[in-house]
Amino acid sequence: MPHHDVLVIGAGLAGQRAALSAAEQGANVGIISKVHPVRSHSNAAQGGINAALDPEDSWESHAFDTVKGSDYLGDQDAIEIMCREAPDELLELEHLGVTFHRDETGHLGKRAFGGASAARTYYVADITGQAILHVLYEQLMKHDVVHRYEEWFTTALVQDEEGKVSGAVTRNIRDGSMELFAAKSVILATGGNGQVFNPTTNALVCTGDAIAMAYRIGAPLMDMEMIQYHPTTLAGLGLLITEGARGEGAHLYNADGERFMEKYAPNKMELASRDVVSRAEQTEINEGRGFPDGTVALDITVVPRKRIHEALREILNVGRDFAGVDITKEPIHIKPGNHYAMGGVKSDTDGLTSIPGLYAVGECACVSVHGGNRLGANSLLDTLIFGRRAGAHAGKRSKGSPMPQPSRASLDDEEARIRAIFDRERSGRRVSEIKAELGATMDEKCSVYRDEEGLREALEVVTRLRQEAKVATVDDRGTIFNQDLLGALELQFMIDNAETILVSAIERKESRGAQYRTDFPDRNDDDWLKHITVQPNGDGEAPEIEYSEVTMTQWEPEERTY
Ligand SMILES: Cc1cc2nc3c(=O)[nH]c(=O)nc-3n(C[C@H](O)[C@H](O)[C@H](O)COP(=O)(O)OP(=O)(O)OC[C@H]3O[C@@H](n4cnc5c(N)ncnc54)[C@H](O)[C@@H]3O)c2cc1C
């Protein structure tokens, strides 16, 4: 049985950062990833990472922008930690080898991003995630104490009799063998759940696996209703055009040629926070001022050509290859699209969840630093700060404590679950069909604008899809790289995510951040300045809802204008 002091599930930025800092504590670390680590979705991050590094900027200003961006739902103690530790983290990355952009004076160059009162986004052209991920991977390779399980898929978490997490069941994708891992601590870092929606900017692997696995063993999920729709994605495909484009000066226009952000955010214009810009675009589209393909236009031609080639070169390729548009010459059509999960497994500022031995970091976690709406370039920061903190905490904690002996019954259960999928009669719907209906339903009913009727309809669909998923058959019954089987397991994770998102969205009877309820259009601090958490309620029926306080330190809620 493989056994590790610290077992990290997920090898994106959060997982790799956690593994590195646990290893620095002398812990023996295992890190599992269902894809090669550098293919994690963090690789796709374009725009950059925030830090108040400039002497004229301050961590307090960064923190206030984050609190305001969160629509006052973010926990201010966690936000303070993130913003205070950001400059050192950024410098450490640079010293490890991340080639952050430098300006003509040789200083680190920065760009403006949405919702920020100062330009504090540091970047490597528009491949920032890739640059950081590769550097962390190189660092991990230096450590003999880090064992990498690349292309292994975790299917379930294992608890001992007292409820403490003692390991995980994982399938080796290459040969189909199943292993029971023992671990003193398990750190979840499996990223977001964008695939629950279609289209999405998220990679195919972003199926909310750990959110569902933690939920299944009773870990509360928090802020699940807060799903970010990014203002600039390609219609139909969901591909992202980085906020960096607006940071470099690009404008938004409706089909009448109006720079419509003047009406919605006269001060910050295109660089208001994402929820505000997405709502503005959707309003223009809904009220008939969009283009016939249901979009508005992003005009990047106002950015000097040389600068586009230097700082937005990937977007140049995306425009050409996926929209047939030369962004240096003509506007590109975009619309709001699913992008990011603010919610996730409730965890504290050391990544600890309410289940002993279990940590969660990165996009699958909810600390909550993003509250109702994440500011652009704060997610890479979140993955690194809380990844490092959780890794250090788990690494220290493992010293001197005995290695658990997880029960083989968990392995037997998972093997039986997979055998049952293979043994099913070939009938019912295909996994891909169920997934497509799930994604379309969520995008239609649980996106920029929501109401109770639509959310309840979506929940009914999800409840039916859960039953259909239970009997869906897979065509491939082989052992080697059986992606068909993994798709069936992921679908079940996604359905848990969808249900908890919808139940939370129905529960929150107000509009705040990314949740805009047309039937409750105002923010209501008296009743709803609190987190919604959901847990399974034992009888397998609808999730149980609880509330938790928002931690306030120095910023009282104010009206939010940009
Ligand atoms: C297109 C795009 C652009 C973005 N740009 C920016 C940006 O410029 N700035 C910013 O701050 N944020 C950005 N974000 C958000 C940010 O990139 C993500 O929130 C962040 O990278 C998530 O990192 P993570 O480590 O939590 O998860 P991920 O990078 O998604 O990694 C998840 C890991 O978990 C593994 N995994 C998942 N399930 C399992 C399982 N069952 N078993 C084993 N392994 C599993 C995967 O293999 C992977 O290694 C962007 C997001 C997208 C989609």
Output phi, psi for 157, to 5 deg: -95, 155
Q: In this predicted structure, which of 426-435, 518-527, 537-546 has the lowest mean pLDDT?
A: 537-546
Interval 331-367: pLDDT, tens: 999 999 999 999 999 999 999 999 999 999 999 999 9
Does the CB atom of residue 37 touch ligand 1 within 6 A?
yes
Pairing of strands 296-299, 251-253: antiparallel
Which residue CA neighbors atom 37 of ligand 1 most closely? 190
Strand partners, 299: 251
What is the mean predicted confidence (pLDDT) over 86-110?
A: 95
What is the pLDDT confidence band of residue 540, given thresholds at 50, 70 and 90? low
Q: Ligand 1 centre from 195 Cα, in Å?
A: 12
Interval 229-260: pLDDT, tens: 999 999 989 999 999 999 999 999 999 999 99
Please tell me the predicted confidence (pLDDT) of residue 427.
79
End-to-end CA gap in the chain: 55
Is 430 annotated as catalytic?
no
Does the CB atom of residue 380 touch ligand 1 within 6 A?
yes
Q: Ligand 1 centre from 41 Cα, in Å?
A: 4
Please tell me the predicted confidence (pLDDT) of residue 356.
97
Please tell me the predicted confidence (pLDDT) of residue 428.
83
What is the pLDDT confidence band of residue 541, given thresholds at 50, 70 and 90? confident
| CA neighbor of 358 nearest in space, from 240, 217, 485 | 217
pTM, two decimals, is 0.98
Interval 543-557: pLDDT, tens: 999 999 999 999 999
Average pLDDT, the chain: 96
Nearest atom (ligand 1) to Cα of 37? 49
- In the predicted model, is pLDDT for residue 490 greater than 90? yes
Does the CB atom of residue 367 touch ligand 1 within 6 A?
no
Q: Which two tokens stand for residue 79?
A: 């936000």
Length of the chain: 562
Q: Is 516 in a helix, a strand, or coil? A: strand
- Rounded CA separation 113/274 (Å): 10
What is the pLDDT confidence band of residue 537, given thresholds at 50, 70 and 90? confident
What is the pLDDT confidence band of residue 200, given thresholds at 50, 70 and 90? very high
Output phi, psi for 453, to 5 deg: -60, -50
Please tell me the predicted confidence (pLDDT) of residue 265.
96
Please tell me the predicted confidence (pLDDT) of residue 425.
83
Interval 268-314: pLDDT, tens: 999 999 999 999 999 999 999 999 999 999 999 999 999 999 989 99
Question: Looking up tokens 């300045």, which residue turns up?
Answer: 529
Which residue CA neighbors atom 10 of ligand 1 most closely? 377
Residue ranges of E strands in 17-106: 29-33, 49-50
Q: Ligand 1 centre from 45 Cα, in Å?
A: 8
| CA neighbor of 557 nearest in space, from 81, 83, 74, 118 | 74
Its sign, for the CA torsion 248, 253, 257, 258, is negative
Q: Ligand 1 centre from 340 Cα, in Å?
A: 9
Does the CB atom of residue 48 touch ligand 1 within 6 A?
yes
Best substitution site from 380, 382, 486 to test ligand 1's pocket, by max atoms within 8 Å of Cβ?
Answer: 380
Interval 426-481: pLDDT, tens: 778 999 999 999 999 999 999 999 999 999 999 999 999 999 999 998 999 999 99
- Rounded CA separation 67/80 (Å): 9
- Residue from 171, 246, 274, 523 carrying the catalytic annotation: 274
- Rounded CA separation 233/237 (Å): 8
Please tell me the predicted confidence (pLDDT) of residue 215.
97
Q: Ligand 1 centre from 220 Cα, in Å?
A: 21
Please tell me the predicted confidence (pLDDT) of residue 107.
92
